[in-house]
């Protein structure tokens, strides 16, 4: 059958989590874009609504209980360096309970809240696309 993102384009989700006009970013440890700072997210499972996948992935990766999410847009990553191709639906949330944690240390190494003026580098393509979409709506 093959592996999503490697043998055929994968469908993913990303969730921008906002607090006080700051965005929660995590440093990735795995391809694609290992070492880059990114929004949380992952693969959409078969028969799983994408909004639900965004909430699930965020809760697994941060330990937060995510409330309402809104569609922000769509982005695509074709990484020759990682030989991966992903299409991701981007969502945004500012309603959540708890404090972020490092719940998947095998996938993510660091995290923090960042303002638009103080973004860590390098940013993942997904984070950069989401931040551009947020700027147009002045949410960040």
pLDDT digits (tens, 9 = 90+) for 22-58: 999 999 999 999 999 999 999 999 999 999 999 999 9
How many beta carbons lie within 10 A of that of residue 26, not counting itself? 24
Computed over every residue of the chain, the mean pLDDT equals 95
- Looking at residue 13, its pLDDT comes to 98
Q: Model pTM? A: 0.93
- pLDDT reading at 62 higher than 60: yes
Which residues, in sequence order, are CB contacts of 72 under 8 Å at separation 6+? 16, 90, 91, 92, 130, 133, 134
- pLDDT reading at 140 higher than 60: no
Kindly state the average pLDDT of the residues 61-86: 96
């Amino acid at each position: 059958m093959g592996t999503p993102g490697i043998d055929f384009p994968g469908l993913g989700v990303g969730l921008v989590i906002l607090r006080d006009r700051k965005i929660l970013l995590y440093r990735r440890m795995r391809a694609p874009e290992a070492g880059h700072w990114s929004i949380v997210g992952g693969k959409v499972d078969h028969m799983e609504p994408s909004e639900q996948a965004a909430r699930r992935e965020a809760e697994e990766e941060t330990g937060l209980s995510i409330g309402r999410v809104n569609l922000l847009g769509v982005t695509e990553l074709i990484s020759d360096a990682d030989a991966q191709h992903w299409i991701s639906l981007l969502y945004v949330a500012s309603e959540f309970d708890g404090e972020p944690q490092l719940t998947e240390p095998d996938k993510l190494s660091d995290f923090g809240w960042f303002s638009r003026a103080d973004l860590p580098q390098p940013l993942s393509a997904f984070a950069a696309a989401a931040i551009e979409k947020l700027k147009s709506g002045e949410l960040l």
